[in-house]
Chains A and B, each alone.
Chain A
Amino acid sequence: MSTTLIVGILLIGAALWELIPLLQDLYNLRLLTLKQKQTAKLLLQKKNQGIFLNRLYKSADDYQPKEVRTVQLLDDLEYSLGWKRLAYLDFLEDEQAIIFRVTKGLPQKYLDFVHEVYHDRIDIGSLAGGRAISTKQPLIVNNWTQDPHLKHISFMSEYGHVISFGAFPIVSSLTTYGSLHVYGGSAGMFKLNEVQFFTTVANSLAAILEHDEFCYERR
């Protein structure tokens, strides 16, 4: 009886001994699956961005007025890439200011603020959009509740759920067209990938708008 008991205990021990690596394997499988999901998500995002850029350049084949093209661009950014709060601001050369031409999903409170304080015009050099135009470089704010320069519009995060922001100037070799504004619902939405992507979009849009002008003149 005692021999049987010892053999039984040894066998149960062996079973447990095998169980530990099995549990480890299960844990590794879970980690790998999570990693795979993250990679797949990133890949899908990149693929969609690639398809978007392809569509943007392909659209240059046909002439479109600036108003139509900018509306189409914002629509496409929303539907194919999920950016819901966007704006295109036109540059007024004579007044050296930018005005909101097309907006998408922006909180009314913010638009009211721009209307009341700036009379719908943002002078070059003031606010984030104006600074992006004056420097001709993208301006990124990854959490504007913590940015001392943007304290006066920190209410955006309370009312409009807008926390991060990117202004991308649309400037060609001859003309400054305006600025593309992208707003994010959480902090830190503009990482290197997003900054590069929107810079590409803004530069491409500038080239396409210039192309449209030449097409119009040729007609």
Chain B
Amino acid sequence: MVLNTNFFPTLLFIGVIGVLINIHLLRRKMAFFLTKVDNQTLNLKKELIEMDKQQQVIYNLSTSIFLLRGVKEIISSTISEIVVMYHWSDVAYFPYGQLEVERSFYGQHPKYSAEEVAALLKQGTGTDIINSERSGQYLSVFGVGGDGRALGGLYVGKKEGPLTEGQVTFFKTVASFLTVAIDNIQALKEQ
């Protein structure tokens, strides 16, 4: 069988066109991957910045714990750190069993009444966190106090959805910090 050499240019032409199409498709896929990886990195960075802020708040609180001498000072300092450093405005502290609270002192913009939070606290005695949802808003109350004694509750509101795992860990740490700090101050006063 004799090979017809006239076919070579046509074959070459078809081959190169095929390669060109493949490269083009590869580049489109690559662009998609690049955007995907870029977005993932951006999300990780956002999370990292949030974690940084959380750690900064805990660091600031731990350094101020021995400088502040009153329960009110500790609470207002904690709330200010969360509002200013962490940029979280829906946060408040409600002492257990006390319904009439000074809003300006205990929190920035509480969306729930003191009665509601107190009811939630009562319902959740002995638990770390209580979650509830109302008209698209999410409320979490972190119990402050231990050893069977409820001292109060740290109210945290979020519009976008329930708290993430990292946010729950952070607010639990803050609640535990408040327990230790308030307990220590009260014990010092008793002495």
Residues on A lying within 8 angstroms of B by beta carbon are 1, 4-5, 7-8, 11-12, 14-15, 18-19, 21-22, 25-26, 28-29, 32-33, 35-36, 39-40, 42-43, 46-47, 49-51, 53-54, 57-58, 60-62, 171-174, 193, 196-197, 199-200, 203-204, 206-208, 210-211, 214-215, 217-218
Contact = CB atoms under 8 A, between A and B. Distances in A.
A21 B37 contact: no
B95 interface: no
Interface string B46-84: 011001101110110011011000000000000000000
A207 B180 CA distance: 7
B20 A43 contact: no
B16 interface: yes
Task: Summarize B's interface: helix, strand, loop or mixed.
Answer: helix
Interface stretch (B96-104, B112-120, B153-161, B182-190): B182-190
B125 interface: no
A contact patch SS? helix
Nearest to A46: B51
B156 to A, nearest CB: 15
Contacts of B111: none
A140 B149 CA distance: 40
B176 A25 contact: no
A51 B45 contact: no
A22 B41 contact: no
Q: How large is the interface on B (under 10, 10 to 19, 20 to 34, 35 or more residues)?
A: 35 or more
Given A57-B176, A57-B177, A43 B169 contact: no
A203 B62 contact: yes
Contact of B9 (A4, A42, A62, A207): A4
List of 5 A-B pairs having minimum Cβ-Cβ separation, nearest first? A57-B176, A214-B187, A61-B146, A4-B9, A11-B16
Interface stretch (B27-35, B86-94, B130-138): B27-35
Contact of B65 (A33, A42, A203, A218): A203
B187 A60 contact: no
B13 A7 contact: yes
A53 to B, nearest CB: 5
A197 B31 CA distance: 39
Contacts of A50: 51, 54-55, 58, 166, 169-170, 173
B85 interface: no
Contacts of B180: 57, 60, 207-208, 211
A42 B40 CA distance: 15
B16 A8 contact: yes
19 contacts: A4-B13, A8-B9, A8-B12, A11-B17, A12-B16, A29-B34, A32-B41, A36-B40, A43-B51, A47-B51, A50-B166, A53-B173, A57-B180, A172-B66, A173-B188, A196-B59, A199-B59, A208-B180, A211-B183
B168 to A, nearest CB: 9
Contact of A206 (B12, B30, B66, B173): B66
A112 B163 CA distance: 51
Contacts of B170: 50, 54
A53 B173 CA distance: 7
A15 B22 CA distance: 10
A37 to B, nearest CB: 10
A207 B181 contact: yes
Nearest to B30: A25
Contacts of B65: 203, 207
Given A11-B20, A50-B166, 10 more contacts: A14-B20, A15-B20, A36-B44, A46-B48, A47-B166, A53-B173, A60-B180, A197-B59, A207-B62, A207-B180
